[in-house]
Amino acid sequence: MSDVALTAGTQPAQELFIKMAVAAWDASTNQCSKLFDELTDDQLAAEASPGRNTGKYLLGHLVAVTDRMLPLLGLGERLHPELDNAFLANPDKSGLETPPLQELRKYWKEVNAKFSAAIAAIPPGEWFAKHTAVSAEDFAKEPHRNKLNVLINRTNHQSLHYGQLLYCRPKK
Amino acid sequence: MSDVALTAGTQPAQELFIKMAVAAWDASTNQCSKLFDELTDDQLAAEASPGRNTGKYLLGHLVAVTDRMLPLLGLGERLHPELDNAFLANPDKSGLETPPLQELRKYWKEVNAKFSAAIAAIPPGEWFAKHTAVSAEDFAKEPHRNKLNVLINRTNHQSLHYGQLLYCRPKK
C-alpha cells in the first residue's frame, strides 16, 4: 500500500466507498432533476429519437425504478406502485392510462426526496447487508449482492436513460 | 450492524467493494462490446438521433476516455492519444480526419483488453490512492478523489453513451 493510500485510510475505507457510491447516485439524480426542470412539457412528451421512448415514458420509468428501491433496500413503503404497469411491465405507447406529466414531475421530486433522505440515514454496516430480493442462502455465497450493489447498478441504469433524455433537448 | 451484514463481513469490506465497482465497469464494457459487434458499419456511421452524435463518434469517444484512464490510474502509457483531438476536444462533424470504423472497432478491443487486465491486477489498497490528476494537498482533504472513484464515474459516463448508442439499432 502506498503512502497516499495510507492517507486515505485515515477515514475508514467502508465509509469512504459508501460515500463514493451515494455521491455517484446523487450526481446522477441531480443531473436528471436539472434536465427535467429544463425540458418543457412538449419536449418531454416527444420521442427522444424517432420511434423510440418518449421523455415522459423515461421519466415515469425512472420514478418507478427508484420507488421500487424503497422496499428493496428496506427503506419503507413505496409511494407510487401504480406506475409499474405502464412504466415497467409495459413499453411506451401501450395505450395504458398514465398520470399527466405535471403529476409525474411531482412524483419524481417526492420519490427522490424520500429516497435520498432514507439512504443518507442508512448505517454503514447495513449497506453490506442483503437486499430483500436475494435469499439468505444465495447471499452467503455471493456477498456482493448487497444493498450498495443495487444502488451502484441503479445509478448506471439511470445514467443510461439520462443519455437518452438529453436527446429531448432542442438541437443547437 | 445486522447479522446479515456480519455475514458479508467475512470477506474484507474493502475487497468486496472493489469487486462491485470493477464488476459494474466490466458489465458496462461488455454491454457496449456486444452492441458494437451487433451494429453494422452503416448503423454505426448514422446519427443516434437526427442531428445528434453518430455511433462512430460515440465509439471513438468511449475508446479515448478509457485510453486516458491508463495514465490517470497509473497503469501505463496510452495506446491511442491521437484520438483526443477528434473525439474529445472537438464535437462530431468537426471535419477532422478520423480513423476508419474498422480501425476504431479494433482500438475498442485493444484498449479495453489492456485496461481490463490492468485493473484486475491493481492491489486493493492502491484503488484508494489518489489518481494522477489530483494534487496531494487536495487529496488529503478529499480522500474520495481516488482511483476507484474515477472508475465509478467513468462507468456512469459509459452507460450514458450506451443508452444513446442503443438508438443506432434498427427499430423493431
Q: What is the pLDDT of residues A19-43, one digit of tens each?
A: 999 999 999 999 999 999 999 999 9
pLDDT number for residue B137: 95
User: Which one of A3, A17, A53 makes the best mutation probe of the B interface by having the most chain B beta carbons within 10 Å?
Assistant: A17
- The predicted complex's ipTM stands at 0.92
In a domain, A66, yes or no: yes
* Domain span holding position B130: 21-168
Number of domains in chain B: 1
Share of chain A above pLDDT 90, in %: 86
Mean pLDDT of A51-78: 98
B18: confidence class by pLDDT, cuts 50, 70, 90? very high
B3: confidence class by pLDDT, cuts 50, 70, 90? very low
pLDDT number for residue A8: 39
In a domain, A15, yes or no: no
Mean pLDDT of B61-68: 98
- State how far residue A51 is from chain B, nearest Cα, in angstroms: 7
Q: Which amino acid is at B40?
A: T
Mean pLDDT of B20-32: 97
Q: Can you give the CATH number for the domain in which B118 is found?
A: 1.20.120.450
> Cβ of A9: how many Cβ atoms within 10 Å?
15
pLDDT number for residue B24: 97
- State how far residue B87 is from chain A, nearest Cα, in angstroms: 17
> Cβ of B129: how many Cβ atoms within 10 Å?
24
Mean pLDDT of B95-105: 98
Reading the block at residue A159, the C-alpha cell is 445514467
> Nearest to residue A15, comparing CAs of B134, B13, B124, B1?
B13
On the 0-12 / 13-18 / 19+ scale of CB atoms within 10 A, B75 is middle
In a domain, A12, yes or no: no
- State how far residue B42 is from chain A, nearest Cα, in angstroms: 18
Mean pLDDT of B98-118: 98
pLDDT number for residue B118: 98
pLDDT number for residue B11: 52
In a domain, B64, yes or no: yes
Share of chain B above pLDDT 90, in %: 85
In a domain, A61, yes or no: yes
pLDDT, averaged across chain A: 92
Task: Round to whole Å and give the CA distance between B28 and B93.
Answer: 26
Q: Is A122 in a helix, a strand, or coil? A: coil
CB contact under 8 A, A129 and B2: yes
Mean pLDDT of B147-152: 97
Q: Is 0.95 surpassed by the pTM of this model?
A: no
At residue A149's C-alpha, the angle toward residues B165 and B130, to 5°, is: 85
In a domain, B81, yes or no: yes
CB contact under 8 A, A10 and B143: yes
Residue pointed to by grid coordinates 443519455 = A163
On the 0-12 / 13-18 / 19+ scale of CB atoms within 10 A, A135 is exposed
Mean pLDDT of A140-167: 96
A166: confidence class by pLDDT, cuts 50, 70, 90? very high
**Helix/strand/coil (H, E, C) string of B21-33?**
HHHHHHHHHHHHH
Please say if the pLDDT value at position A46 is more than 80: yes
Closest CA in chain A for residue B149: A20
Q: What is the pLDDT of residues B28-57, one digit of tens each?
A: 999 999 999 999 999 999 999 999 999 999
Q: Is B52 in a helix, a strand, or coil? A: coil
In a domain, B69, yes or no: yes
Task: Round to whole Å and give the CA distance between B171 and B70.
Answer: 36
In a domain, B5, yes or no: no
